[in-house]
Amino acid sequence: MNVPGTFTLGPGDGNARTGCLTTAHGDVETPIFMPVGTQGTVKSLCPTDLHDLKAQIILGNTYHLYLRPGDELVAKLGGLHRFMGWDGPILTDSGGFQVFSLSGLRQIAEEGVTFSSHIDGSRHLFSPEKVIAIQQNLGSDIMMVLDECVPYGADRAYTEKSLALTTRWARRCRQAHPGGHRGQLLFGIVQGGFFKDLRAESAAQLLEIGFDGYALGGLSVGESREEMYDILGDATPLLPADRPRYLMGVGAPRDLLAGMAAGIDMFDCVLPTRNARNGTLFTFQGKVNIKRAEYREDDTPLDPTCPCYACQTFSKAYLRHLYVARELLSYRLNTLHNLTFFSIMMERARQAIRDGRFAAFRAEMEAVYPTDEE
Ligand SMILES: CNc1nc2c(CCNCC3CCCCC3)c3nc(N)[nH]c(=O)c3cc2[nH]1
Ligand SMILES: [Zn+2]
């Protein structure tokens, strides 16, 4: 078995590439979509379900687990893998993004970001050293640095100032986790908003510090698709080709395709799990809104080509009934299906890259996932 952090590139097709990342809890084939677990669980699924749908790596949530049940308790109970019964790789975000999106009353200073818990209003400080300690306690295989995800529309002056602080925080994170510590990897996060020169500066600064992988942050924050793709195309080649590249918070099928075409290796998004809860299901024939009346008497499976338990066992009429009746099983079956779809789509993408036919695969998928609708 390779040492954690080993990243071996396989066949490529244009800027799209396949690879294999070794972590302390196993290897991850790239490009990869990572299902999001929020409070130590991928909502409504058991770890066995995740293995059944061939999930290779999942996301844990530093912010939530720190607040409840507490990272120290999780450490005392053997770490997040043992706590949640998932023996595969886990990536944890630093929590910075959640602080900005979930908690009120936050202040940014040299030391770190102070915020009020969305649970009980108590005050907390996330410093670079603190978020490293939390992720070490959780035992995640891939940790992220503390960063400020600059709000969409921030002006150049604010973005420049924020970038300088974010880089100082990244350096403190690296110092707090010099590398090789129990095989836990540390990724840097490129910021710089929508200013290409600032993005280049950010990438160069992070490269000089040196990380096991590099993420593009500050995207999928409300910008238009073309704005995201513009930065994506310009910034991705700045990230070292021999290290994993992670596009944070992305995304819908067409955004995964655009990211892979640009040379991105790793993705995470709440879309498949969140949409499962509101009845929006992804199939290879396009999106299905299961609550629509047209499915009331539809005795056919959601996606006859899908191997998941929901598609193999139930009709659209039944899935619609469960959703309309607000039955808990609706949540579980819809999540099983959506994550199976994302898993199969990524497997087909990896094979298309290996076969040198990624452009054709992308065109085929975009025909059912047009770029105009949300
Ligand atoms: C949705 N768009 C988006 N997400 C971003 C995220 C979060 C990525 N997902 C993390 C999971 C969220 C659910 C719970 C578990 C962790 C970002 N994170 C960081 N640190 N920096 C970003 O610029 C950053 C930028 C992001 N943009
Ligand atoms: Zn299915």
Output the CA 340–ligand 2 centroid distance in Å.
Answer: 6
Above 80 in pLDDT, residue 160?
yes
Q: Which residues are within 5 Å of ligand 2 (an ion), measured at CB?
A: 306, 308, 310-311, 337
Task: Give the residue whose CA is nearest to atom 20 of ligand 1.
Answer: 97
pLDDT band at 354 (very low <50, low <70, confident <90, very high): very high
3-state secondary structure of 34: strand
pLDDT band at 372 (very low <50, low <70, confident <90, very high): low
d(CA 44, CA 134): 25
d(CA 348, CA 342): 10
- The confidence score (pLDDT) of residue 179 equals 79
Above 90 in pLDDT, residue 100?
no
Structure ipTM: 0.99
d(CA 213, CA 91): 12
Residues 6 or more apart whose Cβ sits within 8 Å of residue 368: 284, 285, 286
Ligand number nearest CA of 151 is 1
pLDDT band at 105 (very low <50, low <70, confident <90, very high): confident
pLDDT band at 173 (very low <50, low <70, confident <90, very high): very high
pLDDT band at 134 (very low <50, low <70, confident <90, very high): very high
Above 70 in pLDDT, residue 116?
yes
DSSP string, 249-280: T--SHHHHHHHHHHT--EEE-SHHHHHHHTTE
Amino acid letter, residue 343 = S
Closest of 332, 326, 291, 282 to residue 310, by C-alpha = 332
Candidate of 247, 248, 264 to mutate for ligand 1, largest count of ligand atoms within 8 Å of Cβ: 248
| This prediction's pTM | 0.98
Task: Give the residue whose CA is nearest to atom 26 of ligand 1.
Answer: 249
pLDDT > 70: percent of the chain: 99
| 234 carries an active-site annotation | no
d(CA 373, CA 348): 23
d(CA 322, CA 107): 44
Which H/E stretch holds residue 289? strand 286-289
| 93 carries an active-site annotation | yes
Highest mean pLDDT among 117-126, 174-183, 286-295: 286-295
Catalytic residue among 93, 255, 265, 303: 93
Q: What digits encode the pLDDT tens for the residues 16-73?
A: 999 999 999 999 999 999 999 989 999 999 999 999 999 999 999 899 999 999 999 9
Please check whether residue 127 is in contact with residue 67, taking contact to mean a CB–CB distance below 8 angstroms.
Answer: no
- The confidence score (pLDDT) of residue 15 equals 98
Ligand number nearest CA of 313 is 2
- The confidence score (pLDDT) of residue 129 equals 98
Pairing of strands 213-216, 245-247: parallel
Closest of 32, 37, 87 to residue 244, by C-alpha = 32
d(CA 257, CA 205): 28
Token look-up 């690296």 returns 174
Q: What digits encode the pLDDT tens for the residues 300-351?
A: 999 999 999 999 999 999 999 999 999 999 999 999 999 999 999 999 999 9
- The confidence score (pLDDT) of residue 182 equals 87
Residues 6 or more apart whose Cβ sits within 8 Å of residue 337: 276, 281, 282, 302, 303, 306, 308, 310, 311
- The confidence score (pLDDT) of residue 371 equals 67
The per-residue pLDDT of the chain, averaged, comes to: 96
Cα distances (angstroms) measured from residue 203 to each of 18, 43, 172, 199, 331: 22, 34, 16, 6, 40
Above 90 in pLDDT, residue 374?
no
